[in-house]
Amino acid sequence: MLARVIEAAGISTVLVSMMPYWSEPFGVPRTLGVEFPFVHPLGHAGDRQEQMKVIREALRVLRDAREPRTVEHLPDKWSGDHEEWYRRWQPPELPPIIAWLREQQRKQAEERREGEGSKP
């Protein structure tokens, strides 16, 4: 959304995204997809070389793209154990929306059980 608003205002944009899946349907002007864990679009904390590589690749996409919905994919894989980083990007406390959704599911399951229990 923000990329579209800024682009429509006359400023060329490029998005570095862990979820380039959304770029084409959402009309994002230019995207560099990165297969990195959430929170880390530009790479590992403290890794200047990796960050610069991703940035320069994003600038290349900005320069070379010729039409909207351009999506290119950085071939680099994330260095680090997948299981560890899968857990590591997630927040220390359960997000309120997830807790709320689980509570709704629990209530619905309870209502279904009560409904089944009251059948003759």
Partner 1 sequence: MPVDSFMWLPRSLAAMYQGLTLEKEEAPWTFLAKPIEQCRFALLTTAGLYLKGQDPPFDLERERREPLWGDPTYRIITRNVRQEDIGAAHLHVNTEDLLQDMNTALPIQRFLELEEAGEIGSLAPSHYSFMGFQGFPANTAPWRDQYGPEVARRMKDEGVDAALLTPV
* Selected binder of partner 1 within 79, 81, 83, 86 (CB under 8 A): 86
CA–CA distance, 53 with 43 (Å, rounded to integer): 9
Q: How far are the Cα atoms of 108, 110, 114 from residue 117, in angstroms, in the given order? A: 14, 10, 5
- Touching partner 1, residues 4-23 (CB under 8 A): 4-22
100 binds partner 1 (CB under 8 A): yes
Q: Among residues 73 and 112, whose Cβ is nearest to partner 1?
A: 73
Nearer to partner 1, 96 or 117 (CB): 96
Q: Are strands 30-35 and 70-77 parallel, antiparallel or unpaired?
A: parallel
Q: Does 39 participate in binding partner 1 (rule CB under 8 A)?
A: yes
* Unique residue bearing structure tokens 């994919």: 73
Binding flag, residue 112, partner 1 (CB under 8 A): no
Q: Give the 3-state secondary structure of residue 53.
A: helix
Output the smallest distance, CB 58 to partner 1, in A.
6
C-beta of 84 vs 116, nearer to partner 1: 84
Q: Which is nearer to partner 1, 24 or 116 (CB)?
A: 24
Cα gap 50→73, rounded to integer Å:
15
